[in-house]
Structure 1
């Protein structure tokens, strides 16, 4: 089965800046070149402890990185729903009702506003609490209902990150593989380099070697050179 990406409008949920690139950077490169629209809804960003010399990266630094990556991928728009240290890495303290409503209709990039044809979000089995909460809130916002009254994207899927496997109940292998060209992967890896506060040398879940290895593995499973994997929750043909 193939998708005419030139006709699609993607809405991608990223708990933090870089999750969208880790999970579907290759897909974003592929579909944008085909003519698709791409909107990225970040959920939160704040000062972040890291392994750099100074020991942390500021929210301002991370916003500057987002702007570079947005230009790199040519996103149509992006937004941060809950910025600030009071939310960053604390999304599990926000009521599901509030998060789901933001995603469904209150954010500038809400489902009601964008009317996406494809929605991508993190997988709920991630060990990261912000990823879990985001996945569940998106799931609630996209609950089945009368399509005459609420917009329903045709495709709803979860992207994967290498770090998601750090769970005893980790998700099984993806059931949707999207073939990537070498240039798509190169675009993804270049974007990760722009997230300078978040990239690391190998061995690390966010290293270039890890990202390339996962693309090679998913490609092998589909009988092609490179691919990204997704877990589909809805596919309306």
Structure 2
């Protein structure tokens, strides 16, 4: 399957700032280089007690990092659905109805408003409760129905992060691969450096070596130097 990314309008759901880069940073660079539209729907952000050399990070600090990453990639838009400490790392107590409705129709970057051709979500087997809640809400928001009355994105994917492997019932291996150049992998890593409050040295799931190693592993699976792996939830060709 060959995709002409220049024709795509991509909506990426990121529970927190940096998830879109960890899961899709290479694809984002590849798609933007081709001329695609890329939008990031963040779900929540708040003050965080990070276990890093930088110490705790504030929501205000994260907003500054987002603006740098948005400029670096050239995103066409980004938005927060539920910002604030009331929701950050607590999306599992938010009703599925409220969260899925925000994704489907109530956010400025909702599926109904944006009408994306591609939607990319976290995988539901993540250990993180916000990732699980987001993934399940996306499944509800994109439920099958009559496409004459509700928009159905042609391609729906779930992205992976290295930390997702920390479960006994981890997801099966990816079944959709996006080939990356070394420059696109480098761009993904550079973008993570812009998320200074979230970047970590090796060994860590967000280290440079982890990101490059996962890209090399997924590339090996399909016979190319580098790739990102995804799980196909819907593919209409």
- TM-score tier (shorter): over 0.9
What is the CA–CA distance in structure 1 between the aligned matches of 2:129 and 2:49, rounded to whole Å? 16
What is the CA–CA distance in structure 2 between the aligned matches of 1:207 and 1:53, rounded to whole Å? 13
Alignment of 1:66-81 (within 5 A): 66-81=66-81
Q: Is 1:217 aligned to residue 214 of structure 2?
A: no
> C-alpha deviations, 1:4-40, integer Å up to 9, x for none?
0000000000000000000000000001000100000
What secondary structure is seen at the aligned counterpart in 2 of 1:70?
helix
Cα gap change, 1:221 to 1:99, in 2 (>3 Å)? same
> C-alpha deviations, 1:129-160, integer Å up to 9, x for none?
00000000001000000000000000001000
Match of 1:151 in 2: 151
Q: Is 1:29 aligned to residue 64 of structure 2?
A: no
Q: Is 1:41 aligned to residue 41 of structure 2?
A: yes
Question: What is the total number of aligned residue pairs between the two structures?
Answer: 237
Report if the CA contact (8 A) 2:12-2:20 is conserved: yes
Match of 2:8 in 1: 8
Q: Is 1:167 aligned to residue 162 of structure 2?
A: no
Match of 1:179 in 2: 179
What secondary structure is seen at the aligned counterpart in 1 of 2:156?
strand
What is the CA–CA distance in structure 1 between the aligned matches of 2:45 and 2:51, rounded to whole Å? 17
What secondary structure is seen at the aligned counterpart in 2 of 1:56?
coil
What is the CA–CA distance in structure 1 between the aligned matches of 2:51 and 2:4, rounded to whole Å? 42
What is the CA–CA distance in structure 2 between the aligned matches of 1:222 and 1:27, rounded to whole Å? 16
Q: Please report the RMSD computed on the Cα atoms of aligned residues, expressed in angstroms.
A: 0.7
Report if the CA contact (8 A) 2:123-2:158 is conserved: yes
TM-score, reference length from structure 2: 0.99
Match of 1:202 in 2: 202
What is the CA–CA distance in structure 2 between the aligned matches of 1:214 and 1:105, rounded to whole Å? 34
Match of 1:117 in 2: 117
Structure 2 gap ranges (5+): none
Q: Quote the offset at 1:183 in angstroms.
A: 1.0
Which stretches of structure 1, 4 residues or more, deviate above 3 A after TM superposition? 52-55
Q: Quote the offset at 1:54 in angstroms.
A: 6.5
TM-score, reference length from structure 1: 0.99
What is the CA–CA distance in structure 2 between the aligned matches of 1:116 and 1:50, rounded to whole Å? 33
Match of 1:138 in 2: 138
What is the CA–CA distance in structure 2 between the aligned matches of 1:21 and 1:94, rounded to whole Å? 25
Report if the CA contact (8 A) 2:52-2:200 is conserved: no
